Structure 1
């Protein structure tokens, strides 16, 4: 048999398994959440890479609302971020699922905004409008007023980062405003699609970059949805840090290996900074010491405390 035939057969088999039994990552939540939390606590860094030198912890707002696909990993990511903040002392974390916390006035007290799997609904891909149309607090607004309010929230988010603050974007979070040209340019790309959840390998792109120091012992092998991006992603206007090993990804659509697929990157936006981290879809990956260090370092970069090159 030819390699091409075998690859096609493997893709068909994977599709069948996913349709009948669910994806290979179907058992997405830990069997013992308390034991999982203990592992995260054990492996989370006890010190930040960039010392605070007596400065107070940075204020981080973690926004974890989804109106579309509900990632079961979302509350686990909340717990990870709280653990990283508390154990390292680098951040004070507030968790929110209220768009009112994203107003310009509320964001003014924050140093860092983390978007945690903020998936929007349908083809429109606008989480703000989803909430403004479904939440009874906004029932008195006209359609035009909802559009204006959504635009104001988006502009406030852009201004927050452009003005010198930080943004961390985790896994499915780019779909918050996936059809917004400026938001996706700030993030570094718009979500396109992903092959089924499966075991993947991500490797370091910039071996000497300080943000990937945690992975110098070797690549990260874990279960995930390997995300693909479009739009601003094709411009490559970011500094890639991690990339998927495309040769070993089973993709029924056959598109994944056609391009370089980055799993993490950083980029400046105005006077601010953006850190995107694709891992991960399954809570178990967050027990990996290297990923915990990587996420904390990425947060410190975005907050402006860990200074490093962020352009090609």
Structure 2
């Protein structure tokens, strides 16, 4: 009789331990498993020709890091759970500045995105992701700035890297040149510490001070990496751009960098 009682107690204890083990938070689940990089390519504004090569390059980076990949052009994806998503990659996901009806992160989708961030999710935001959702203040603060304008064409400009250490810039020279479409930004979070800056005079613009090009910041429990690089399709074959974005992805995923998960 006593043996039977002990057996039942042991069984109950094992069931309880199994149940509690299964109650890990989404953030804990991402830490324990590889997690998914959700690559979002939907646009209702200007459609960049670099979106497809950028998405392919980011997918390859994620797979190399041992993460799963899901690529979507459907805003309805945000109507479904994001529990297994580790990083949301916004690849030039534009809307139209003065047309709020073009915004596709609305209603419950906004709540889903905010919950993802507050659970410790990561965001990799590329180029035109700053040219998006002007009617949603939270989105602008999450990115860290908003697109204002860009000088004509894709001139070759001089970039300077921050003296700090970060996976997105480690290994880059103090000063180097790249050819891109250069964004001037508005509503820049004054607490941001740019990882890369552009010298305006290097592209024939007035000397208005170094322009921020890339940064990484903590936001509401999550991590956000933004780079304005990546406009030309050929940028996604440039080792400098690829290593820069790879470092940003790994940092957003909590795999690399200070305070990684």
TM-score (norm 1): 0.67
| SS, match of residue 211 in structure 1 | coil
Which structure: greater helix fraction? 1
Task: Give every structure 1 segment of 4 or more consecutive aligned residues whose post-TM-superposition deviation is greater than 6 Å.
Answer: none
What residue is the counterpart of 1:176 in the other structure? 132
Quick check: 1:203–1:244 contact (8 Å CA) kept in 2? yes
What residue is the counterpart of 1:118 in the other structure? 93
What residue is the counterpart of 1:95 in the other structure? 71
**Cα distance change of structure 1 residues 62 and 114 upon mapping to structure 2, 3 Å threshold:** same
Please list, as runs of the form range in 1=range in 2, the aligned pairs for 1:93-242 lying within 5 A after superposition: 93-103=69-79, 105-124=80-99, 127-129=102-104, 150-196=106-152, 197-216=154-173, 219-231=175-187, 233=188, 235-242=189-196
**Cα distance change of structure 1 residues 122 and 184 upon mapping to structure 2, 3 Å threshold:** closer
Post-superposition CA distance 1:118-141 (Å, at most 9, x none): 111251356435xxxxxxxxxxxx
Counterpart CA distance in 2 for 1:120 and 1:202 is 28
**Cα distance change of structure 1 residues 156 and 55 upon mapping to structure 2, 3 Å threshold:** closer
| SS, match of residue 103 in structure 2 | helix
What residue is the counterpart of 2:4 in the other structure? none
**Cα distance change of structure 1 residues 200 and 291 upon mapping to structure 2, 3 Å threshold:** same
Counterpart CA distance in 2 for 1:101 and 1:110 is 12
* 2:244 pairs with one of 289, 294, 297: 294
- Could you say which structure has the greater relative contact order, defined with CA pairs below 8 angstroms and 6 or more residues apart? 1
TM-score (norm 2): 0.79
Quick check: 1:214–1:290 contact (8 Å CA) kept in 2? no
What residue is the counterpart of 1:51 in the other structure? none
What residue is the counterpart of 2:25 in the other structure? none
| SS, match of residue 217 in structure 2 | strand
Counterpart CA distance in 2 for 1:125 and 1:245 is 33
Quick check: 2:158–2:176 contact (8 Å CA) kept in 1? yes
**Shift of the alpha carbon at 1:266?**
0.5
Larger Rg: 2
Please list, as runs of the form range in 1=range in 2, the aligned pairs for 1:270-285 lying within 5 A after superposition: 270-285=220-235
Counterpart CA distance in 2 for 1:172 and 1:307 is 25
Counterpart CA distance in 2 for 1:71 and 1:193 is 15
Quick check: 1:241–1:265 contact (8 Å CA) kept in 2? yes
Q: Structure 1: which 5+ residue stretches go unaligned?
A: 1-53, 130-148
The count of corresponding residues between Structure 1 and Structure 2 is 229
What's the Cα RMSD here?
2.3
| SS, match of residue 131 in structure 2 | helix
Residue 256 of structure 2 is aligned to residue 306 of structure 1: yes
Quick check: 1:126–1:176 contact (8 Å CA) kept in 2? no
**Shift of the alpha carbon at 1:287?**
2.1
What residue is the counterpart of 2:10 in the other structure? none
